[in-house]
Amino acid sequence: MVDNARQQHPIDSETVTGVLKRIIAENGRDHIGGYIFAIACLATVALTTAFTAWIMESVVNEAFAKQRADVVWLICGSIFIAFVLRGFATYGQAVTLSKIGNNIVAQYQRRLYSHLMKLSVGFFAESRSAHLAAQISQNVNGIRDVLNLTVTSTARDLLTLVALIIVMITKDPVLTLIVFVVAPPLLYALRYVSKRLRTATRESVELNSHVLGAMQETIQGIAIVKAFTMEKELARKVEGIIDDAESRANHIARLTERTAPLTETFAGFAISSVLAYAAFRSIYGGVLPGAFFSFVAALLMAYDPARRLAKLQVQLERAVVNARMIYALLDMNTRKNDRVDARDLVVTDARVEFRDVTFSYSNSEPILKGVSFFAEGGETTALVGPSGAGKSTVISLIPRFYDPKEGAIFIDGQDIAGVTKESLRHHLAYVSQQPYLFEGTIRDNIRYGRPEASDADVEAAAKLAYAHDFILAQPQGYETPVGENGVTLSGGQRQRLSIARALVRNAPILLLDEATSALDTESEAAVQKALDEAMSGRTVVVIAHRLSTIVKADNIIVMQDGRVVEEGTHETLAKRGDGLYARLNNLQTPFAGGQS
C-alpha cells in the first residue's frame, strides 16, 4: 500500500497493555473527572454488593436462629439502603461512561477525518473507498470499548470480587481455600482462548469490511449493475464474501463462548465442594449456619464478576484489534508534507513552467518522461494526445496531488515543491472530467469554491457558468438539495455547477480535465460557453478530448507516450501533414480526408 509503516506514537502492537497505555495517554486527562466519578460509583456498587453478602450471617443467626426481633428492622433497613445506593451508583456510572465513550468516539472520528484529509491523493487511489469507510465505521468503537472495559472491570468487577473474597475469608478460610484450588487451570485455559481469538478477530474485521464495501459499491454503481444485468454475478461474489464472514464470526463465537463451560465447570465444582464441606460440618459439628449462608451468598455473588473478569481478556483482545486498526490509519505519515522551510506562493503573472519533469506512480514505469513546456500567464494552454499520453498526470502535478520524481514545476519562477500546498491550491481552480457534488444545496456546492463568498458572488458565478436559469427552475432554486452526488441533475447541469464552483473561487490559474468529454452535444455547447467565460483573463491548462474545443487556444502541447512531441497553435499544427496533431484533427473533422 503506502509507505506508512512509521508510527508517531510507537506502541507494542502485540500486547493489550501497549494499546491501553496509548489510549489512556491520549484520553485520560480529558476525562479524569468523569472517570473518578464513575469509579466512585462502581466502587459503591462493589461495596454494597459485598455488604449484602456479609450481612447474611446476621440475617440467618439473629433473625432466624436466635429470633431477635429488635435487630430485624436494623438489618432490613441497612439492606434497603444498600440496594438504593447500588441502584443510583449503577445509573451514575452507566450514564457517565456512556457520555465519555460517546465523546471519545466523536473525537476519534474528527481525528480520522482530519488525518484522511492530510493523506495524499495517491493513498486514496490505492485504497478502496468503500472498504476504507466500512473499516473505519467498524473499528472506531474499539477505542471506547477498551477504556470502558478496563474501567468497569477494574473498578466494579475486580473490586467487587476482592470485597467478596474478603467476606468469604472472614466467614470461613477453609472453604475459601477449596474454591481457589481450581483457579490456576481456569486462568491458563482462558489465556489460550484469548490468544487464538486475536487472529480470528482481525480476520473477521477485514471480512466484514469487505462485505460492507461490496454492498456500498453495488449501491453506488446500481445503474451499471442493472444495465449489464450483473445482479447474479455480483450476488455470487457478495454471497461468497458473506459466507466467509459468517464462518469467521461463527469461529469467533465458538472461541468466545468457550469461557462459559470453563467458568461453569469451575463454579459447579467449587460450589458443590463448599456445600459438601459445610453440610458435614453443620451435621456433625453443630456449627450455626449463619456464617455458611453468608459465605455461600458471597460465593454466588462473586460468580458474576469472576465470570466477567474471566472473559475480560477475550473481550479486550477483540476491542484492541479494532483499536490497533484505527491507530494504524492515524499513524500513517502523509506522503507529501510541506517542507520545513516552505513559504507561501506569491502569484503575479500566473506563469506555469514544467522543466524536464519525470514522474511514475509507485514503482511502475514512468508516465512522464522529461516533460518541459510553458503555460504563459493569462493564456490558454491545451494538452492533447492519445489516451495514456500523460495529460491527466500533468494536471495532477500542478496542485501537488503528486510530486515529480525528477525535474521541477514553477509558478512565476517559484518551485512549487518549496511552497505550502495550501497557498498553492488557493491560487488554483479545478474542473474535473467527472464533476462531484456534495451533500447539501446547490448554493452550498458552489460556495465550497470560496466559503466566504456572499450569495451575490455565488449567483454571479452561476450566471457566468450558464447555470443560473436552470437553478431557478429547480423546486427551491439555489436552496434545492442536490441529492447524492447530484443524482437529480443532468451531467451538463452538474458540470456547470462545477464550473461555477471554480469561478466563485476567482483563482488566477484554472485547470480543466476534459470537462466536456462525457457530455452530449447540447450539454457540451452550454458547458463550453461557460468554460469560455471561466477561461477569460486566467492562466488555463486544459486537457482537450475534442480538438474543436481548443482551436482558439494560445498554445497547444501535443503529448504521446509521456513526452511532448509537438507544440504550437491549431493553425500551425494542423498544417503539419505528418504530425500527430494533424492526424488527430483529421480523424475528428468530418470528411477531412476527402476535401480537395
Query: Is-contact 353 410, C-beta < 8 A?
Result: yes
Give the tens place of pLDDT for each residue, 151-207: 887 778 888 888 888 888 888 787 777 667 666 666 666 666 666 666 666 666 666
Lowest mean pLDDT among 3-12, 447-456, 459-468, 566-575: 3-12
Give the tens place of pLDDT for each residue, 458-484: 999 898 888 898 899 998 999 998 876
Give the tens place of pLDDT for each residue, 368-395: 999 999 999 999 999 998 888 899 899 9
Position 388 scores a pLDDT of 85
Position 2 scores a pLDDT of 37
Q: Which domains does the chain have, with CATH numbers?
A: 16-330 (1.20.1560.10), 340-427+540-587 (3.40.50.300)
Strand ranges (E), 447-516: 509-513
Confidence band of 361 (pLDDT split at 50, 70, 90)? confident
Please name which of 298, 271, 274 lies closest in space to residue 50, comparing C-alpha atoms: 298
Position 6 scores a pLDDT of 37
- Residue 212 confidence (pLDDT) above 80: no
- Residue 299 confidence (pLDDT) above 80: no
Angle, alpha carbons 399-403-405 (nearest 5°): 150
Strand ranges (E), 291-387: 352-359, 368-375, 380-384
DSSP letter assigned to residue 211: H
The Cβ-side half-sphere exposure at 89, using a 13 Å CA radius, reads: 21
The predicted model scores a pTM of: 0.65
Distance separating alpha carbons of residues 297 and 163, to the nearest angstrom: 13
- Residue 327 confidence (pLDDT) above 70: yes
Give the tens place of pLDDT for each residue, 547-588: 877 888 899 999 999 999 999 999 999 888 788 888 888 877
Position 63 scores a pLDDT of 62
Please name which of 141, 528, 520, 462 lies closest in space to residue 323, comparing C-alpha atoms: 141
Query: Is-contact 587 414, C-beta < 8 A?
Result: no
Distance separating alpha carbons of residues 56 and 164, to the nearest angstrom: 12
Position 150 scores a pLDDT of 80
Give the tens place of pLDDT for each residue, 120-158: 777 776 666 666 776 677 677 777 888 888 888 777 888
Position 286 scores a pLDDT of 62
Please name which of 119, 388, 172 lies closest in space to residue 297, comparing C-alpha atoms: 172
Give the tens place of pLDDT for each residue, 30-44: 888 888 898 899 889
Please name which of 444, 435, 550, 549 lies closest in space to residue 504, comparing C-alpha atoms: 444
Lowest mean pLDDT among 10-14, 53-57, 224-228, 592-596: 592-596
Confidence band of 259 (pLDDT split at 50, 70, 90)? low
Percent of the chain with pLDDT over 70: 78
3-state DSSP assignment of residue 451: coil
Query: Is-contact 290 172, C-beta < 8 A?
Result: no
Position 10 scores a pLDDT of 46
Position 565 scores a pLDDT of 94
Distance separating alpha carbons of residues 64 and 57, to the nearest angstrom: 10
Position 472 scores a pLDDT of 93
Pairing of strands 352-359, 509-513: unpaired
| Distance from the Cα of residue 38 to its chain's centroid | 29
Q: Which three cell numbers stand for residue 214?
A: 461490496
